[in-house]
Amino acid sequence: MSAVSARPTPRLTLANRVQHDGIARAWTHYRTVSLHHAWSAVDRRFHPSARNDTTAEKVELDGVTIASPNRATGVHYLPTPWRVLDWVHAALPVPPPGSTFVDYGCGKGRVVLSAAEQPYHRVVGVEFAAELAALARGNVSDLPSPVAGSIDIHEGDAAAFAIPGTPVVAFLFNPFGPPVIERVAASLSRSWRRSPRSIIVAYLNPLHESAFAAVDGFSKVDLPLTSAAKIRLLSPYRLAIYATPEARALMAAQKKLRRP
């Protein structure tokens, strides 16, 4: 059982949604919701992490403790489906030595748990909701034998998180809107300008990806063909990847960058 309550949000009827959003957006909405429910059912039934509380129930942010002025721009907790995480990791290069993986808005820590199975030097989950950060910490402490060197859950606002000076993979599953997303993009860009290195932004459900297109150092890269096909066909959400020149070189060397 979740230690925090999940409250349902009001639903539009099919007719209202089509009238309000148009057929194309209504179709995208129903495809997303259906695929999310399907993967949640698969996760509940088959994923061994059932021992961890990273359930697919939505947790609204008005029911949790947040000591930040940015509550209003934050998106409720909903975890990335496990299988989609496999495709995300497959689309990323093997991390160079010393790399840090950061999940901005880690919720109960599912992405942190999955990154802990990859050869990162450090994995960090940043979460501003106290109850969710505590659950994430508990989930991490239950991990029997992580591959990653160290794992931390940092309770605090993503906008204020100090970017490590190592190669970085920054993961976001649509955690917040403007202005927080712009502050995160600007801070990653400043960090890269100070110390040019491989920084990759893997942004799932990238509703505000223009924030990364607008800052120095980052450009969008195409996903490797296999990951692109799986995500396009079977993921509820799109994945956008932005990378610095050093990260693009790394991806090209490891053939994770699709050639035109």
Should residue 201 be labelled a site residue for ligand SAM when binding is judged by CB under 6 A? no
Q: Is residue 84 within 8 Å of 237, Cβ to Cβ?
A: yes
Closest separation in Å from C-beta 219 to ligand SAM: 24
- Choose, by CB under 6 A, the member of 2, 32, 70, 118 that binds ligand SAM: 70
Site for ligand SAM in 39-68 (CB under 6 A): 61
The residue within the footprint of ligand SAM, chosen from 87, 101, 120, 173 (CB under 6 A), is 173
Interface size with ligand SAM, residues (CB under 6 A): 27
From 116, 158, 185, 239, residue interacting with ligand SAM (rule: CB under 6 A): 158
The Cα angle at residue 62 between residues 34 and 37, in degrees rounded to 5 = 10
Give the span between the Cα atoms of 252 and 163, in whole angstroms.
24
Between CA 54 and CA 64, with CA 60 as vertex, the angle to 5 degrees is 85
Cis peptide before 179 (omega within 30 of 0): yes
- Asked if 159 is part of the footprint of ligand SAM (rule: CB under 6 A), the reply reads yes
- In the beta sheet, which residues pair with residue 104? 126, 172
Of 5-13, 74-82, 86-94, 244-252, the segment contacting ligand SAM by CB under 6 A is 74-82
Stretch that binds ligand SAM, among 3-11, 13-21, 78-86, 212-220 (CB under 6 A): 78-86
Beta-bridge partners for 39: none
Region binding ligand SAM by CB under 6 A among candidate stretches 127-135, 210-218, 223-231, 241-249: 127-135
**Alpha-carbon gap, residue 180 to 186, rounded angstroms:** 10
57: nearest Cα among 22, 21, 133, 5 = 5
Structure tokens at 176: 């917040």
Which residue in the set 26, 91, 106, 135 belongs to the binding site for ligand SAM (CB under 6 A)?
106
Give the span between the Cα atoms of 49 and 66, in whole angstroms: 27
- Whichever of 104 and 218 has its CB closer to ligand SAM, that residue is 104
Residues 6+ apart with CB under 8 A from 63: 4, 5, 7
Residue least distant from ligand SAM (Cβ): 105
- At 119, give phi and psi (nearest 5°): -80, 55
Select the span of 34-42, 92-100, 122-130, 215-223 touching ligand SAM (CB under 6 A): 122-130
231 contacts ligand SAM (rule: CB under 6 A) = no
Residues that bind ligand SAM (CB under 6 A): 61, 70, 74-75, 77-80, 103, 105-107, 110-111, 126-129, 132, 157-159, 173-176, 180
